[in-house]
Structure 1
Amino acid sequence: MDMATIALLAGAGLLGGLCNAIAGGGTFFTFPALLAVGLPPVTAGATSAVAIWPGHAASLIGEGAVLRQDLIARPGRVTVFALASAAGAGLLLLSGDALFRQLVPWLLLFATLLFAAGPMLNRWLARCGVSIGPVSAACAEGGVALYGGYFGAGLGVLLLALLTVTGDDDLKRLNVVKNALATLATSIAVLIFAFGGAVVWGPAALVFLGATAGGVIGGRLARRVNPQTLRAAIVCLGLLLVWHYA
């Protein structure tokens, strides 16, 4: 691995971790970078998921009370979400590079539009006071988990929007639950990708190290950087990637 490749992967991880700490959207940097260094699409998706997993997990430190009440006390919800996440990860491995390559522009477009509209969608749902029944909620969470296991970009936005119409109106609490479910989906996908031999560990380590540094820096810059400005830049990047891979 030459120095240019090392710099690209570590830099993508740094930017991804930085963005995740402030506004989200880190996958828009890590996944294309892994493709750019020659990894096949399925391998790039799996390796990106492994590299950014610790950032999801770290967000749950100190949130034990919420996790016990909203997840551990509801094993059925966790089971459905876990099984759907596993199905999504397995589907990625089974779909193969040719099909996944065709889907990449559409997945990126979906994630970009979702990322752009996420805050507005969440505010609108909260104002409308929309609610759905437990069965419909379980089906919706299963669908979101399936997507999270398969690709995952924009998963946090999808989850927060869904939790807004199925949970209470405590945004801080919903954000913890969102992070927990995203961590669960990513953890299961990572295990399946690892045992399925879809992860290239050298690039994963470089992206992970960059993402860790980016997360630390982003945490310190979160109060100084305008999240809306960063979000707009990430949306522009997403649309550029859609055009590139189309």
Structure 2
Amino acid sequence: MGPWEAVAVVAAGVLAGGINAVVGSGSLITFPTLVAVGLDPISANVSNNIGLVPGSFTGAYGYRAELEGQRERLLRLGAASALGSLIGGVLLLFLDPKVFHYVVPVLIGISCVLVLVQPKLNGWLRSPHKTHGGVGLWLGVLGAGIYGGYFGAAQGVLLIGLLGSFLDEPLQRVNGAKNVLALVVNGVAAVLFILIAPVNWWAVLAVAVGAAVGGVLGARIGRRIPAPLLRGVIVAVGVVAIIKLVYG
């Protein structure tokens, strides 16, 4: 990776860290950027996941006020996220790489749709629920963890939709919980990938530096970004990623 490619990846990491802190879907920026600078899709996905962990941490820390009183809930749901992430990471590493090549564009497309319909989705499904969301939320978070361990783009959108639908909580507290669960997913997958996956450490470093900065900025000022503009950027990047993977 040359110096200009590294700068591009760091910049993508800043955007991804900020977006992840606010809504999720930052991987729709960093993953295609890593592919564009020459990494193969599997290595790009693995390196991207590890590199985004510092940004997940700073984003979660930035929402610490909204996390007050959610410790027991997050311990319960965090177990589902950890188990799901482990399953998803194993699927990524041991399925035929051709499966990843064909599945990822579909996952990106689904993620883009979820980004667009998220406000209406929460409105359709919202209703009073238990403090911890019951078995339905636990299983949903498990599924989101599997998705996050396998690919991860827009897992934050999935988590916000689930938490916002099953819990009677303000959006900012839901977002804080989402950041913690995404951190668990990325952290567990990162440990697995470090042990047995093809990691490009220069890519990891570039993403990590940018994502850590972006996580801080996203937690501080990300709420001021107009939601329609943010969704439009994410979807545009996702479409570019699909075109790159299918026709690149």
1:69 aligns with 2:54: no
Return closer, same or farther for 1:171/1:230 CA change in 2, 3 Å cut-off. Answer: closer
Correspondence for 1:169: 169
CA deviation vs aligned residue, 1:19-59 (integer Å, no higher than 9, x gap): 33454332111101111222221111111111111222223
Deviations along 1:213-235, whole A, 9 cap, x unmatched?
33444455436532321221221
Change (3 A) 1:225 1:135: closer
- The share of aligned pairs that are identical, in percent, is 35
**Given the superposition, is the C-alpha separation of residues 234 and 71 from structure 1 closer, same or farther in structure 2, using an over 3 Å criterion?**
closer
1:111 aligned counterpart, secondary structure: helix
Maintained 8 Å contact 2:145/2:185: yes
Greater Cα shift, 92-101 or 11-20: 11-20
How many angstroms apart in 2 are the aligned matches of 1:130 and 1:3? 52
Distance 2:177 2:223 in 1: 23
The answer to whether the aligner puts 1:245 opposite 2:245 as a matched pair is: yes
What corresponds to 1:28 in structure 2? 28
Supply the AA of the counterpart residue of 1:209: V
Give the CA deviation at 1:130. 7.0
The 5-angstrom pairing of residues 1-246 of structure 1 reads 1-61=1-61, 62-63=64-65, 65-72=68-75, 74=76, 77-126=77-126, 129=127, 134-219=134-219, 221-222=221-222, 224-246=224-246
Paired AA for residue 100 in structure 1? F
Q: CA RMSD in A?
A: 2.4
Cα 1:110/1:180, change in 2 over 3 Å: same
Query: Is the 1:23–1:231 contact (alpha carbons within 8 Å) kept by the matching residues of 2?
Result: no
Amino acid at match of 2:35: L
Unaligned runs of 5+ residues in structure 2 are: none
- Count of residue pairs the alignment pairs up: 241
C-alpha distance in 2 between matches for 1:184 and 1:32:
23
TM-score by length of 2: 0.85
Q: What letter matches 2:49 in structure 1?
A: A
* Aligned-partner Cα distance in 2 for 1:18–1:135: 31
TM-score when normalising by structure 1: 0.86
Question: Structure 1 regions of 5+ residues with no counterpart?
Answer: none
